[in-house]
Homo-oligomer: A and B are copies of this chain.
Amino acid sequence: MDNFLATSLPIIQSPMAGVQNSTLTIAVSSAGGLGSLPCALLSIEELQIELNVLAQNNNRPFNANFFCHQPPKINPEREAKWRLELKPFFTELGMDIGNIPTEPNHQPFNHQMADVLEVYKPPVISFHFGLPSADLVKRVKSWGSTIISSATTVAEAQWLEANGADAIIAQGLEAGGHRGMFLSEDLTTQIGTFSLLPQIIKKVRIPVIAAGGISDAVSVSAAISLGASAVQVGTAYLLCTETDTSQIHRAAIKSDASHHTAITNLFSGRPARSIVNRVMTEIGPINQNTPEFPLALTAIRALKKQTEIAGIGDFSSLWCGQNATGCREISASEMTRSLATKL
């Protein structure tokens, strides 16, 4: 137990829903980092299976990650406007947008999930989009799990500390995937890693984990020298052997396309950083008509499914941070060790 994470290395692998399962978690934890299991898209049954796999194959600390967004209300007017926006793409692909149901999915963290977790008691539980209700925070803490969550502003960091987080991820705006922002929807509040990290460190007393743009041993070391207690790295793992990153996603990361990412709300209804692709270019990365998270997932996922069959990523969420230069097609264990070589 060398740090507050009880791992030998101060390196957390970012939970990346949609591109990984417990195989990646195990590979990272076995190398001394903190492997993460993204649980936000799992059913209760899948969650149980994955935690069981970890219990059988991993005796090192790991992290289970959940979303804790406010469940959305279906807004038929907004949904209609959004479908009007997407209709030309459906028409082009010979698909009927009327056949796509509007349905809520992806529950935020709840007691049913906690019932499963309680059996396995993950050493670390991380949340995105704030924290769950006070009773859930208390319940998770009661069995000894360390709670971490992402802050994208100083105000969010202070809120998380006041509401029970044991450590804070300072998520700089370079980071790939969903912004953890939860106190404001204004994207101009989002701050680069180099500015955000020191400001949060000055304002909270709990450990701060740096995220966003950290891609190799040099940047891991620089983040630690800026005062981070640990780092969280996502993008660099995207090509690792133990991920499920799709061929389309892999090809985009390896190409010059990865030089241009943007924060977009098209794929889920919440701002997230993706490699710029056709749909982001044609209707703009941020659209005011996008249904509330996660309702927006449904319609665009139908377009994604249809086009990916032909090997086209025009409607795919190509999550990626602003620095993909650290991505390598190696094992995640080797990646973890290589990130730590300048510590």
Chain A residues in contact with chain B, CB under 8 A?
153-155, 172-174, 188-189, 191-196, 198-199, 202, 212-216, 218-219, 221-223, 225-227, 259-263, 276, 285, 321-323, 325
Most chain B beta-carbon contacts within 10 A, residue among A174, A213, A218: A213
- 21 A-B contact pairs sorted by A residue (CB < 8 Å): A174-B194, A188-B260, A188-B261, A188-B263, A188-B276, A188-B285, A189-B260, A191-B322, A191-B323, A192-B192, A193-B193, A194-B212, A194-B323, A195-B322, A198-B218, A198-B323, A198-B325, A199-B325, A218-B227, A221-B225, A225-B225
- Contact A188 B262, beta carbon cutoff 8 Å: yes
Complex Cα spacing A338 to B51, Å: 50
Complex Cα spacing A96 to B259, Å: 47
- Cβ-defined partner of A198 (8 Å) among B188, B192, B216: B216
A171 CB, min distance to chain B CBs, angstroms = 11
A167 CB, min distance to chain B CBs, angstroms = 20
6 new A-B contacts at CB < 8 Å, known A174-B192, A198-B219, A222-B226? A188-B261, A192-B322, A194-B219, A199-B325, A218-B226, A225-B225
Taken together, the copies of this chain in the complex come to: 2
Question: In the assembled complex, which residues on chain B have CB atoms less than 8 Å from the CB atom of A194?
Answer: 172, 174, 192-194, 212-214, 219, 222-223, 323
A222 CB, min distance to chain B CBs, angstroms = 5
Complex Cα spacing A322 to B218, Å: 23
The chain B residue sitting closest to A226, CB to CB, is: B222
- Contact A218 B212, beta carbon cutoff 8 Å: no
Complex Cα spacing A173 to B193, Å: 10
Question: In the assembled complex, which residues on chain B have CB atoms less than 8 Å from the CB atom of A173?
Answer: 173, 192
- Contact B195 A213, beta carbon cutoff 8 Å: yes
Supposing A174-B191, A199-B325, A325-B198 touch, asked if A225 and B214 sit within 8 A by C-beta, the answer is no
